[in-house]
A and B are shown apart, each in its own frame.
Chain A
């Protein structure tokens, strides 16, 4: 085996799927039914590379970390080539935030007066990126394998695999990019892939409309990202995450580089900082389908189910979570923005879960559940503590596995039901498709947060993060108590003096935010907010369990019924589809416990430069198993499952629906809180009217003027063309006369 250094591997992770995509485009038609090979092989190789990187980096980090002291931040930057360079593009004004903070100003004293605008193709490797890369490529690989079975006989077979490989490339670049412009580019690229995959069956008007909707709603978020990038450039004079060495040898601090993060006031807070954070949040809301930009994701289920699993459940929609986690230091400097993140997240989680309770389309249930779970992640990010950030990424990882599993399971059902996905039209499928049923059940248990499945642990961490912000002092004591109880094995150093700085959590993160004199009341309000958010999240957990098991019971229990579209061949899906299901089911079962008990993920992530920044690292709390929270969470899940069982277990799913008891609320939920209608009335219709006006103006006024102007060159041309008579003598005379004219004109000019 060839010995590969990390740089090569890092480049290979995106490069291989790109090559796969190009090969599929070039050879797709030739390969015919073998068109999946380039994509599957390249994604598999990329997955191997990504896992190798992850394992290698994790080994490095754990080597450097002691039991009590987290590892120092690690990052590796590879600049493939300079993409664009403009010299002297940015002149930091005196006192501008580019050099704000005396500490940083002193360090960057050697910076030239004008900074270049320099964008490289910079790839980075750090724990966060390595984790994301591994998740993307592994889920991508399983989805690609599954698609071999799911998409067979589709006329667009090669196109699908080309798009999947292109998506894996774009997504890998998005999380590996080390400057905001590159992030923006691939933010758009994953959006484009998503658009193409939602509209994969573009002959269907609904698919085309859904693709358009997804694209347009995402544009709103992308607009936020674009403005955020402009503001970042105006504020910091660079777009790089990492520190760069300029041509003259001076060190330019990147936005998320060690120089700036280590400095006292390197990150800009205040109005500008909050604006940047909120704009980034807008972008994240678009991509991750959070309120108020969530409306596109349910419709996106018009795309092929594997694409939904890969893009609209496991990977792309987590880009927003990644972005906020990556920019954690920026958010921590702006408490107001942080709280907004949490509020948006928890509200989205609740609203989406409520809508999910009355959906009859299996994929739509999963879509709303995705929105809801992403809401959890945002709520967790918004706590602004290290626990919150790592918990969000933890949930991201486990969610990627169990939600991909659920989607692929739903796809398996849909595949065998002849394309029918309405849960009222089939039932009792566990007898027909046992593997699908078993794996789907595992995924549901994970999603509902039942111990010991993956979702339980990550959801518990999120609840703990919210709880710790809501009940600060209590939490501190609680932590101490838990630590002593939970880790009685004497893992903690017994001598108090030896406890490292990061364990001093009695002051709590709130002191960080309440920087000035009037901080105390603010901390109180925010504690109240987080208490509310905690209870909302707990209620959402119950709802989650309810709608998940409602779907399970409707689909797999009760009398066996099969829609007529399925014909006589309603059967278990082929091997190539069930094997990925089984693999994902195993991951959904063990990943939570593995990652939680060993603390591997949270310790590893803590070595990410963004999360190792002092402002974030100071909020670290000891690793603990929160028994009381776990009991609350499990109770909530149990209540949800119980209600679902009472309402749906064993019943024929086409009968009168038990959710009738909700009364008028059911209409509200079923119509998605009338948000789509609201948007149509408030935004779409006025814009259409304005567009009509503009089109009319364009057609009759502007076009008229343009046509008038366009006549001028045509008229001149008609005259000039006459001179082109084709007669040699005339050409010769014209040439000679022209020469004469030139000479005379020059002579005249010289004389004058």
Chain B
């Protein structure tokens, strides 16, 4: 690999950064006012470049970069969501430029657009990182622009508080992750993920001290670092406060893109225990311990996270706090699939070598979890971006006011669930869109969220499904996890349906202004279209997720011909 080819592989990220520079400099010197247009063009250019990269099946490594189906899926998700979010963000900015009332923030159009582009570049780097250092740099390239984005809302006390809280807690999370990463380096003596995997999989006995002391530290801290990105327990506290304080556009960014980073981190960490060489399928005891600990940890975190998120959401009246709690709950769902993938990989690791016939069936199981998580992630990000797009589009509503009660008070930002009262009559399109998104998030068939929850539940039920249900057995664990998931989905319906009830069954005298700019509405409509598309044809997305999931967790490049049929349990 020449360095030129490496540059070619990184061309989407390079284009993003170049577009960011255009936005920064153009805004400052050339007086370009349409930063978000630059951002959109940059994102679309990067998307076209991703399309030209080797992705399906082929794995290309060059230095710290690793391009495979998984990283391609991540890039598509990053850039696709990024395009939608750019629309959401720009709609938000447009609103603040128009309405100059007190308490409304000013928009720094070009700065925000550039910062957002850098953030996308960082996230895309996380997807292709094959090295701990590159992974960390990518993560920081996500975090630092996020601080800036949050802090750009500097006229608003709540916005500042949100930015500060996010800043400090993110620093702690980064430090924790870095500590874990350093410990991994301590184990392997290299920062390359490939090298670390080789070290962990070495057939040396566990008692060498490495595993008993360093493995829990490395694993625990890296997973907790990823938990912050996912907004999962124990690093979930920031989400409600920060979402509430910031703009809908920023909340949309925070609730989608970092989750992607978290899933990538967990996926790469999980893959450390899986042999990348098909010929030497056996791994050492340390890798088995790694995988075992991994699934136990993620399963517990999943159960706690989704329960905490949902029960907290039940009490929320503030729309953005409610969505923050719901985003915590969804982080819990995402962890279920990762736990399943780890458990299945652990089963494989315990297999005798060379038993191809036996391992074939189990590998499909192993892939179920990661596939389900990636699929679920997509079905979660779309409606979430759509809801925030809708909120950004709706913008403000008129306060309660009659001609006799003095001068008309300024318009109020939409904050609480009650502000959506009667939306079905005042703005039926937005009400329908929000209802669609909310129903999808609640997992109502046949919307994408349902397919996502279905694949997750099925993948959890598939773990050890031939063995009997016994107390404390792994099957019982995952059976309980599936039950908890379903119960949580039922709890979540309560607060999701409250939004629909407000829109469709309540009336209001305070109309919604819909002054948030058309871009937000456009993002909303795009999400509606995509949600309906996935509803009708979930197979294409599922096939892409399956390819990505298999690439991450399987040593053998699998044929794609069998993706057309959904495997039965």
Query: Given the interface contacts A713-B314, A724-B240, A738-B234, does A743 sit within 8 Å of B221 by beta carbon?
Result: yes
Instruction: Please tell me which one of the listed residues A116, A713, A737 contacts residue B310 in the complex, with CB atoms under 8 A apart.
Output: A713
A176 to chain B, nearest CB (A): 20
Instruction: Please tell me which one of the listed residues A87, A717, A726, A739 contacts residue B311 in the complex, with CB atoms under 8 A apart.
Output: A717
Inter-chain CA distance A344–B130, complex, in Å, is 74
Per-residue interface assignment for chain B, residues 226 to 259, with 1 indicating a CB less than 8 Å from any chain A CB and 0 otherwise: 0010000111011011000000000000000000
Residues of A within 8 A of B169 (CB): 728, 731-732, 735
Which residue, of A89, A721, A724, A744, has the highest number of chain B Cβ atoms within 10 A?
Answer: A724
Q: Contact between B289 and A750 (Cβ–Cβ < 8 Å)?
A: yes
Q: Contact between A723 and B237 (Cβ–Cβ < 8 Å)?
A: yes
Instruction: Please tell me which one of the listed residues B220, B313, B494 contacts residue A742 in the complex, with CB atoms under 8 A apart.
Output: B220
A749 to chain B, nearest CB (A): 6
A720 close to B (CB within 8 Å): yes
Residues of A within 8 A of B215 (CB): 746, 750
Spot the interface stretch: B84-92, B465-473, B496-504, B561-569: B561-569
Residues of B within 8 A of A751 (CB): 212
Which residue, of B217, B219, B237, has the highest number of chain A Cβ atoms within 10 A?
Answer: B237
A718 close to B (CB within 8 Å): yes
Which residue, of A85, A713, A714, A737, has the highest number of chain B Cβ atoms within 10 A?
Answer: A713
Residues of A within 8 A of B240 (CB): 724
Residues of A within 8 A of B494 (CB): 710, 713
Closest B residue, CB atoms, query A82: B564
Query: Given the interface contacts A726-B241, A735-B235, does A743 sit within 8 Å of B314 by beta carbon?
Result: no
Residues of B within 8 A of A721 (CB): 312, 315
B297 close to A (CB within 8 Å): yes
Residues of A within 8 A of B241 (CB): 724, 726
Q: Contact between B297 and A720 (Cβ–Cβ < 8 Å)?
A: no
Residues of B within 8 A of A716 (CB): 307, 311
B491 close to A (CB within 8 Å): yes
Inter-chain CA distance A87–B234, complex, in Å, is 41
B210 to chain A, nearest CB (A): 11
Q: Contact between A717 and B566 (Cβ–Cβ < 8 Å)?
A: no
- Judged by DSSP, the binding face of A is helix
Within 8 A of B (CB), among A675-732: 710, 713-714, 716-718, 720-721, 723-724, 726, 728, 730-732
Inter-chain CA distance A732–B567, complex, in Å, is 44
B176 close to A (CB within 8 Å): yes
A404 to chain B, nearest CB (A): 35
Query: Given the interface contacts A714-B311, A724-B237, does A732 sit within 8 Å of B168 by beta carbon?
Result: yes
Inter-chain CA distance A89–B173, complex, in Å, is 48
Q: Contact between B314 and A717 (Cβ–Cβ < 8 Å)?
A: yes
Q: Contact between A742 and B223 (Cβ–Cβ < 8 Å)?
A: yes
A590 close to B (CB within 8 Å): no
Q: Contact between A750 and B297 (Cβ–Cβ < 8 Å)?
A: no
Q: Contact between B568 and A86 (Cβ–Cβ < 8 Å)?
A: yes
Q: Contact between B220 and A731 (Cβ–Cβ < 8 Å)?
A: no
B223 to chain A, nearest CB (A): 7
A736 close to B (CB within 8 Å): yes
A744 to chain B, nearest CB (A): 8
- Judged by DSSP, the binding face of B is helix
Inter-chain CA distance A743–B565, complex, in Å, is 41
B17 to chain A, nearest CB (A): 31
Residues of A within 8 A of B491 (CB): 713
Residues of B within 8 A of A501 (CB): none
Q: Contact between B565 and A86 (Cβ–Cβ < 8 Å)?
A: yes
Closest B residue, CB atoms, query A728: B165
Q: Contact between A746 and B165 (Cβ–Cβ < 8 Å)?
A: no
Which residue, of A87, A730, A738, has the highest number of chain B Cβ atoms within 10 A?
Answer: A738
Instruction: Please tell me which one of the listed residues A717, A737, A744, A746 contacts residue B234 in the complex, with CB atoms under 8 A apart.
Output: A737
B1 to chain A, nearest CB (A): 37
Inter-chain CA distance A728–B171, complex, in Å, is 13
Q: Contact between A88 and B314 (Cβ–Cβ < 8 Å)?
A: no
A572 to chain B, nearest CB (A): 42
A511 close to B (CB within 8 Å): no
Residues of B within 8 A of A736 (CB): 172, 176
Inter-chain CA distance A739–B217, complex, in Å, is 9
Inter-chain CA distance A710–B311, complex, in Å, is 11
Inter-chain CA distance A743–B212, complex, in Å, is 11
Q: Contact between B216 and A743 (Cβ–Cβ < 8 Å)?
A: yes
Closest B residue, CB atoms, query A81: B537
Q: Contact between A741 and B216 (Cβ–Cβ < 8 Å)?
A: no
Within 8 A of A (CB), among B75-108: none
Residues of B within 8 A of A746 (CB): 215-216, 219-220, 293, 297
A706 to chain B, nearest CB (A): 11
Residues of A within 8 A of B313 (CB): 717
B302 close to A (CB within 8 Å): no
Q: Contact between B565 and A85 (Cβ–Cβ < 8 Å)?
A: yes
Instruction: Please tell me which one of the listed residues A88, A731, A750 contacts residue B165 in the complex, with CB atoms under 8 A apart.
Output: A731
A747 close to B (CB within 8 Å): yes
Residues of A within 8 A of B565 (CB): 85-87, 116
Per-residue interface assignment for chain A, residues 293 to 331, with 1 indicating a CB less than 8 Å from any chain B CB and 0 otherwise: 000000000000000000000000000000000000000
Q: Contact between A724 and B312 (Cβ–Cβ < 8 Å)?
A: yes
Q: Contact between A742 and B297 (Cβ–Cβ < 8 Å)?
A: yes
Q: Contact between B312 and A739 (Cβ–Cβ < 8 Å)?
A: no
B296 close to A (CB within 8 Å): yes
Per-residue interface assignment for chain B, residues 283 to 323, with 1 indicating a CB less than 8 Å from any chain A CB and 0 otherwise: 00000010001001100000000011011111100000000
Q: Contact between B568 and A728 (Cβ–Cβ < 8 Å)?
A: no
Instruction: Please tell me which one of the listed residues A85, A717, A723, A745 contacts residue B564 in the complex, with CB atoms under 8 A apart.
Output: A85
Q: Contact between B211 and A742 (Cβ–Cβ < 8 Å)?
A: no
Inter-chain CA distance A236–B133, complex, in Å, is 60
Q: Contact between A720 and B165 (Cβ–Cβ < 8 Å)?
A: no
Within 8 A of A (CB), among B158-173: 164-165, 168-169, 172-173
Residues of B within 8 A of A723 (CB): 237
Instruction: Please tell me which one of the listed residues B176, B212, B567 contacts residue A750 in the complex, with CB atoms under 8 A apart.
Output: B212
B346 to chain A, nearest CB (A): 13
Instruction: Please tell me which one of the listed residues B173, B223, B312 contacts residue A717 in the complex, with CB atoms under 8 A apart.
Output: B312
Inter-chain CA distance A362–B305, complex, in Å, is 68
Q: Contact between B314 and A714 (Cβ–Cβ < 8 Å)?
A: yes
Residues of A within 8 A of B567 (CB): 87
Inter-chain CA distance A730–B237, complex, in Å, is 9
B143 to chain A, nearest CB (A): 15
B109 to chain A, nearest CB (A): 30
Instruction: Please tell me which one of the listed residues A88, A714, A735, A743 contacts residue B220 in the complex, with CB atoms under 8 A apart.
Output: A743
Within 8 A of A (CB), among B203-226: 211-213, 215-217, 219-221, 223-224
A328 to chain B, nearest CB (A): 33
Given pairs A743-B221, A749-B293, 5 additional interface contacts (CB within 8 A):
A731-B237, A735-B234, A739-B176, A746-B293, A750-B216
